[in-house]
Amino acid sequence: MQAFASCGGGRVPNVSLLRGALLRALPRRLLKRLLKRLLKRLMKTLLITLLKSLLKTLLKSLLKSLLITLLEHFFFVTAPLEMLFARWVHSHVH
């Protein structure tokens, strides 16, 4: 039996054969413990990645909002930033 199958130039594990070999080689209790640890580690990694992505998006949004507020407050008290930007683009394009 082959534990690996060829697929597009690479070798891909034949999951059913590997699973069968693991079930025969390892005691059921040890296998369950290993699978539980693997799943726990995978979920932890996934959660950390998700939280990092969410935090990054949140910080970008917050910083953008804060920057616009500061620019409007200190430089363009009477006109919103979008209007001044549109004026600047219009004056430099034509």
Predicted confidence band of residue 9 (pLDDT cuts 50, 70, 90): low
DSSP annotation of 7 reads: E
Q: 6: which strand partners?
A: 11
d(CA 65, CA 71) in angstroms, rounded, equals 10
Question: How far from 37 is each of 14, 31, 83, CA to CA, in Å?
Answer: 22, 10, 56
Over residues 49-58, the mean pLDDT reads: 94
pTM: 0.43
Q: What is the CA radius of gyration of the chain?
A: 28
- Check residue 1 and give its pLDDT: 47
Q: 11: which strand partners?
A: 6
